[in-house]
Chain A
Amino acid sequence: MPEPILQIRNLKTYFYTYAGVVRALEGIDLDIYQGETLGLVGETGCGKSVTSLSIMRLVADPPGRIVDGQIIYKGEDLLKKSEAQMQQIRGNKITMVFQDPMTFLNPVITIGDQVSEVIAIHENLARDVVRSKIDECEETIKQLDSNSPDRERLMNRVKELEALKDNPPKYSRREMKKATLRRTIEVLKLVQMPSPEKVVKQYPHELSGGMRQRAIIAMALSCSPDLLIADEPTTSLDVTIQAQILALLSELKKKIGSSILIITHDMGIVAEICDRVSVMYAGNIIETAETKALFKNPLHPYTQGLLKAIPKLHRDVEELEIIPGSVPNLIYPPSGCRFHPRCPFRMDICDKENPPFIERERGHSVACYLYQEKK
C-alpha cells in the first residue's frame, strides 16, 4: 500500500449553539491513500459533510469549531496552517464538489467567470501566455518557406520565449484574460460540457442540473488537485445523469491521478466506484474496509443494517427504514456506543463506554464490542 496523502487523526468538530454543544465529530480517524477512491457512507446528519468541511477548514466559525485532532496532508497538519496558506491549498491541492449544483453556483456570475477565477488565482498563467506565443510563432514558421529572412528572426524569438518559460515576465491584463479564458474552455471540454464557448457566457439558471454539476466539477479539477472531495455529488440529479457524472469522476481520476473522497449515503454508488469504504454513525467512524470485504462480510451491526436495506434489483430507495429508531441527537448523545439504543445485539457494556476502533482483519477495522470478546 502506498502511504496516505491525507491522514485524519482523532478529529473533533463541535458546534456551539445556544441550545448546547453539538458533538458533530467525536474523534474520527481516516486515511486516504494516493490515487484511491474512498467512500464515506452514513445516514444524513451523521457528520459526513462536517468531515469534508473540516478537511477544507471551512466549518463556519461561529458556531462550529475544530476542537482537537490532526489533518495531516503531505506531512503537514492543515489545522496548523494560516488562513492564507489554506487559501493556497483550497481549490488547488484539495478541492470539493458539492451536493446541490442548484444552490452552490453563484446565480449572478457567469459560469465562465466562476470557473476562470479558480484558474486565475492558482495557476501561473504567464506560462500559458508564453506557451501560446511560442505556438503562434511556430505556426507562422510552418507557413513560411524554408529560406525567408523572417524565419531566422522567428526562430530566435522562439528561443527567447523558451528561455522565458521558467520565469515569465508580467503580461498585460488583456493577455492574461485571454489565457484564462482558453484554460477555462479547455477545462469545460475536459468535463465534457456541451458547447463550452457558449456556456462560459451563460448564467447558472440557464443550465441543466447535470451541466451545472459538470461546471462545479470543472472548478474542482481545473488545477488538477491531489485530493477531490465529492460530497453527495449525485443525490440531487436524476438517475441517468448520476451515472454519467460518476463515470466522468472515475475517468477524470485516472486522467489526473488524484485521490477522491466520495461522501454518500448510497451503497450502490459505493459498490460502483469505491476502492475502500468508511461507515460513519453519529459522529464516529464505526467500520472501515475494502469495498468487497465490507459487502461480503460487514461486521458492525449498523453496517449490516445498511446492507440489508438495499433491495437487490433496485437501488435508489430510502434505505434506513428497517433499522428501528432514529439518529440520536448529538447534543445529548447516548452514552457508550452511540448505536446501542438501536442495536439488536446490545450488551451491558455497550452503554457504559465507547468501543475502541481496532483492526480486526487486515485493512478491516471496526468499533464494536461484539468482536472485542471474540479476541
Chain B
Amino acid sequence: MVLLLIAVALLVASGIAALLAQAVPRWCTRCGAGGAMVACTLGLVPSVRVLLGGSVESLHRAWAVPYGAFFVEADALSAVFLLPIFALSGLAAVYGAEYSRGQRRLGTSWFFFNLLVGSMVMVVLARNAVLFLMAWEVMALASFFLVTLDDEQASVRQAGWTYLIAMHLGTAFVLALFILLGRPAGSLDFDRFASSSTSAGLLFLLAVIGFGTKAGFVPLHVWLPEAHPAAPSHVSAVMSGVMIKTGIYGLLRVLAVLTASAAPPVWWGWLLVAIGVTSGVYGIVFALAQRDLKRLLAYSSVENIGIITLGIGIGVLGMSTGRATLSALGFAGALLHVWNHAAFKGLLFLGAGSVAHATGTRDVEELGGLLTRMPWTGVTFLIGALAICGLPPLNGFVSELLLYLAALDGATVPAAAAAVPALGVIAALALIGGLAAAAFTKAFGTVFLGEPRSGAVAHAHESGPAMRVALIVLATACGLIGMLSPLIVPCVGSAIAALSHDSSASVHAEMATAVGTLRTSALVGGGFLALVGLVVLARRRLLSARSVEAAGTWDCGYAQPTARMQYTAASFAQPLTTLFGGLLRTQRDVDAPRGWFPRAASFATTTPDVCGQHAYTPLFAAIGRGLGALRWLQHGEVHLYVLYIALTLLVLLVWRLG
C-alpha cells in the first residue's frame, strides 16, 4: 500500500516537475516520462504481490471534507486492474518519451499524462465515494486535456467537447448511485455500502449507465471513437487500453456490493449479455467501415468492451442460476480479457502511432507496403492483430476460449434462462471473431502489405529504439499470456471469489477443468508453432537447391499494374459493409464519370456514428430549441419586469395566505 501511494505521489510530483521544466524540453521529458516509468515499476510490485495471494492492505484516514475519508485498499480485484494500468502506462511513457519529442506544450502533456495515470490508480484504490469521485473526475479532466492537446483543429475541439459532456453526464449517474448506496449506513465508505432488494435494480441500472459511459457501452460510446484518435498515440493507448476499463472496474465493484445480500435477478445477466452482444457487433462492424486507423482501433475497443461485458453477463447469470462454474469461467474470461485487451490494444495503438509518426497520415487508403520499411512495427502490429482476432496460440484466444467454455457450459445446463443467452454468446463471439478477422486483415493488409498507395509512405522510416522497445515488450506479452495461460488464469481466482461471493478455493476447483483445457490447448498451440517451424525448414531445404526468381505480381494480363490498382481498404470491406449497410448508414458522395470522355470522377464514403448522428445530435438540438422558445422572458421592458414582481407577490399572498 505504501509503495502504491508513493507511486501516486511520485506521478503527481514528476508531472508538476515536468510542467515547471516546460522551457527545457529535454528535462521536461526526463521528469515526466522518467517519473512515470519509475512510479509504474514501483507500483507493479505490490499489485503482483496481491495477485499472487499476498495480504490485502488498506489504509483509513480521516479527511476534512463532507462525507470524505481517505480510505484506500488494494484487494485482488483492484490488483487485477492495477497490473495493466501500471504496465501499460509505464510502457506508454517509454514510448511517449520518444514519440512526443519535438512537440509543443510538452510539459502540459506530461503533466496531464502522469496525472491521468495517478488518478486511474486512485480510482482503483479508493474505497470512499468522495475520494473515488475526485479521482474519477481528475481522470476525466486530465484525459480531456490530453485529448484536446492539439486544439487548433476544430475536429479535436469537437471531440474534446463530446468527451467532456459524456464524462460529466456519466459521473452524475455514478454520483446518484453512490449516494443511494451510502444511504442505509449513512456513510460513503465502500465497506459500509448496502442495498435494499427493492432498490437493487435501480442501482444496477445506474451503475450500468454511469460506468458504461466511461467503458463505452453502445449506445453510450459516442465519445470514444472521437476522443481516442484525437489524443497522442501513447495517450490513446492508455485511454483505450486501461482507462475505459476503470468503467468495467466500477461496474464490478458495485456488482459485488449489490449481490452481497441476495443473488442477482436473471434479467441483470440478460441485460449485460445483450449490451455485450450489441457493443461487440456494433463496434466491430463500425471498425470495419473506418479508414482512419486509430478510429478503427477505437471502435474495436468498443467491441472488446462488449466481449468483456459478455463475460460479466455470463458470470452474473451463473450467480443468479446458482451455477458456480458458469460464474467462475465468465468472470475469469472477462478479467483475463481486460488484461489481454490492454496488451494488444495498447500494442496496436502504439503501432498506429509509429505509422502516423513515420508517414504523417492515419488514413489507411494512403498507406501500404510499410512492412518492408518498418519491419519491427510491422511484425509487432501483426502479432497484435492476430491476438485481437483471438487466434491461437496468442492471448486473445485464451480469454475467448474461457468465454466459449463458460457459454458451452451454460448451453449444456437444462435451464433455458441461462442456456438461451449462452447460445447468444456463442453466436456473437463467433460472428465477432469472423468480423474482427476481416477488420484486422484489412488494417494490416492495407497498411503494411502490397505497394505504397501514396507518397506519404515513400520516406517512411522505422521508429527509434524507445518506441520499438515498448512495441516488442507488448508483443511478447501477447505471446506469453497465450502460452502460459494455465499459470496466469489462477491469479484472478481470488478476484473472482470476491465477485461471486465464493471461497477462492472453490473458485479454483471450478476453474480446474478450464485450466486443464488451457494447458492442453497451449500444448497444441506449441505444437502448431513447432509444426510451422518444421514446414518452413522443409520448404527451405526443398528450395535451397532450386531456382528462386523474383518477378512482378501476376497481373492477369494488364499491361502496367500500378499501386493505385490495388484493392483499397474500402473495397476490401465492401461486401461486409453493404451486408450491414442498414446499421452503418454509410454516406456516399459520388461524382460519377459523365460523357464519352469523362474528366474527373470521384467516389467517397464516410461512416459517422449512427447513434451520434441519429440520436444525440437531434436530441440536443431539440432541447436547445425547446429552451430557446422560453427566452422571451427576458424581453428588456423594465415595466414588465416590475409586473413580474407584482404578480409574484400577489400570487404568493393569495396562494399562501388567502
A and B physically associate: no
